[in-house]
Amino acid sequence: MLITDIKRVIEQVSRDRGIDADLLVKALEEALKSAARKKFGNKIDIEVKYSEELGEIEVFQFREVVEKISEPVKEHEVLQITTEEAGKLDPECEIGDSIGTKMDTGTFGRIAAQSAKQVIIQKMKDAEREAVYSSFIDRKGDTINGIVQRIDRGNIVVNLGQTEGILPDREQVPREGYRRGDRIRAYIMDVRNDTRGPQIILSRTHPNFLASLFRTEVPEISEGIVNVMGAAREPGVRAKFAVASNDSDIDPVGACVGMKGSRVQNVVQELRGEKIDIISWHIDPARFVCNALAPAEISRVIIDEENRNMEVIVPDEFLSVAIGKRGQNVRLASKLTRWRLDVKSEAQYSKDMRDGYDSLMSLPGMSISLADALYEMGFFSAEEITKSTVDDLIQVRGMTEAQALQLIETARSYMANPDSFAEESEAIPEDEQLAEAAEASDSEDSSDSETPADDEESEAVSEDEQVTEPAEVSDTEDSGDSPAAPDIQKADVP
């Protein structure tokens, strides 16, 4: 009445919908049990069993064997059977046993059949959803091919065979257009099981989509010889792809490029012309960053491991190459390496170092020796001192805890209002210069006023000396010639 040749139907539905045959059998058994109770009430004791040999579902009603039925009820609602009737079915039955009789499903009626149909449909939907979810949850992270079914509010609904997938607008590559019936390849980003059924979320912008495409094109990756270490993308424009090799004889970059670039070109065509940089991974973060910023040359790298910051210094002529168009190259390198990168030219770096040193020298009480000591310990500016602790500063030679605390407070005051410090530092040298200038002028005036007198005196002395010496000579000469001189000298003595 309900189903003819049930075995053939179960096999066909199981094959077409991908549902386990056992789940279909259980759904049918539950449906017939529900139909029987709909017809004969909930008190009836029935059992539904599928016979694979006969290819049909049998329904049995169980009744208790009693000597006399105590409560006569409607036909098929009888819960008891007399020993006389039970003996016809099973001669060995006794009072208190439960004996089952096969029911004719044709007596269930139209309403019961409709109820059974609804139960079967619901059970089949639930089984189908569960089968789809179980099938796709294991494929999460793989690529899948489908056909564009329709476009709904910017979202592309893709026919995947067993079910439909959704390619959200945010997961579509800009400037890519699709029409109904187009073949599309996407990455299974997520599989959700909700009340509306399993939701297969697809993506063409996910970085792992790039890795999955290379895994398909490069046998060395699928075999585990070459490992994918990371990928970063700006969908539709440019991407960076890092690989490493487990075999020293195999070049990971060359394996991904392929003969005459055949492998990477297949990936580029799938991504509609997106440029791909294949980079060799390195365990040293600095070397890895240098590889990621290629083709720019790197002069030096300053690493801050605590904050995962890296300052990259490049020659002036390579600054634009390292940064890339609109910062694209350094942005992708930062995503790939997972380090925050700050790219500077050598000229800018030298200027920043000078400015930092000048800021140190601008602090009150700062000497050249202390500034040099701070510089050697990595405190290149007043701003870095504000971010340091007392424990950090006491590592500087000659620095006490009190001096370190005072230096931090001074640096914070300077960073809060550097202009006032600049005015003070400029005012002091001007006063000193004026004082020195005044002292210098006084010394010049005194030297100028004293020099002529000294010269005159020296000249006068020299003249007297010149005059006296000849006079003495003449006196001696006169005394030597005149005999009266001694007498005169003696007479003069009292």
Which residue carries 């066909």 as its tokens?
A: 12
Where residue 158 sits, what CATH number does that domain have? 2.40.50.140
**Residues spanned by the domain of 294:** 282-361
Give the per-residue pLDDT at 113: 65
Percent of the chain at pLDDT > 90 equals 29
Within 176-253, strands assigned E span: 183-194, 197-203, 226-234, 238-245
373 and 347 housed in the same domain: no
Query: Where residue 205 falls among pLDDT bands split at 50, 70, 90?
Result: very high
Q: For strands 143-152 and 155-159, give the pairing.
A: antiparallel
291 and 331 housed in the same domain: yes
**Both structure tokens of 200:** 């297969």
Greater model confidence, 130 or 217 = 217
Q: What is the pLDDT of residues 32-62, one digit of tens each?
A: 777 777 777 777 777 787 777 776 777 777 7
Q: In a 3-state reduction of DSSP, which class is residue 69?
A: coil
Give the per-residue pLDDT at 422: 53
127 and 60 housed in the same domain: yes
Where residue 30 sits, what CATH number does that domain have? 3.30.1480.10
199 and 286 housed in the same domain: no
Of 401, 416, 431, the residue that ends a domain is 416
Residue 230: inside a domain:
no
Q: What is the pLDDT of residues 114-137, one digit of tens each?
A: 766 676 677 777 777 887 888 888
Where residue 385 sits, what CATH number does that domain have? 1.10.150.20
Q: What is the pLDDT of residues 434-443, one digit of tens each?
A: 334 344 444 4
CA–CA gap between residue 362 and residue 385 (Å, rounded): 13
Q: What is the pLDDT of residues 140-167, one digit of tens each?
A: 888 999 999 999 888 999 998 878 899 9
Vertex 392 angle, CA 391 and 395, to 5°: 90
Query: How many domains does the structure of the chain reveal?
Result: 4
* Residue range 231-258: mean pLDDT, rounded: 93
124 and 53 housed in the same domain: yes
* Residue range 419-431: mean pLDDT, rounded: 49
Q: What is the pLDDT of residues 331-388, one digit of tens each?
A: 999 999 999 999 999 998 888 888 888 888 878 777 788 888 887 787 888 788 888 8
350 and 383 housed in the same domain: no
Give the per-residue pLDDT at 446: 44
Where residue 327 sits, what CATH number does that domain have? 3.30.300.20
| Range of 125-129, 184-188, 385-389, 413-417 with top mean pLDDT | 184-188
Cβ(280)–Cβ(252) under 8 Å?
yes
Q: For strands 238-245 and 275-280, give the pairing.
A: parallel
Q: What is the pLDDT of residues 274-313, one digit of tens each?
A: 999 999 999 999 999 999 998 888 988 988 888 899 999 9
* Residue range 412-421: mean pLDDT, rounded: 72
Give the per-residue pLDDT at 123: 72
Of 81, 114, 132, the residue that ends a domain is 132
The DSSP annotation for 73-113 comes to -STT---EEEHHHHHHH-TT--TT-EEEEE--GGGS-HHHH
Give the per-residue pLDDT at 481: 41
Greater model confidence, 167 or 112 = 167
Of 180, 203, 226, the residue that ends a domain is 203
Mean confidence (pLDDT) of the chain: 76
Which residue carries 């991904």 as its tokens?
A: 256
Give the per-residue pLDDT at 269: 92
Cβ(381)–Cβ(412) under 8 Å?
no
48 and 18 housed in the same domain: yes
Q: What is the pLDDT of residues 62-75, one digit of tens each?
A: 777 777 766 655 54
Residue 392: inside a domain:
yes
Cβ(200)–Cβ(191) under 8 Å?
yes
